[in-house]
Amino acid sequence: MTRWLAMVTLVVVAGAVRGWDCVCNPRECEALEPSGCPGLGIVVWDPCRCCKVCARTLGEDCGGFSGTCEPGLRCYEGSCTPIT
């Protein structure tokens, strides 16, 4: 019984971790110009390095799958804040 429970736990944990993988299809990426981005209009790679996206700007969520802050900002506690 213990062996069966350990196996089920392993499968569930492995499935949950696998769910965080990137699924990338560059053909599904939208064309993006810097003029279409808020803030400084900076274009960066998404967290999966598949598509180009707008860099996050002041007050926006950041980090991990939320994205990268534009230059002059840092990701602090999940929000883009000024570098001081």
Tokens of 80: 């883009």
- Res. 11: pLDDT tops 80: no
Q: Single out the residue of 51, 46, 47 nearest to residue 26, CA to CA.
A: 51
* pLDDT band with cut points at 50, 70 and 90 for residue 19: low
Q: Which domains does the chain have, with CATH numbers?
A: 32-84 (4.10.40.20)
Interval 21-61: pLDDT, tens: 888 999 999 999 999 999 999 999 999 999 999 999 999 99
* Per-residue pLDDT at 84: 84
Please give the model's pTM, rounded to 2 decimal places: 0.69
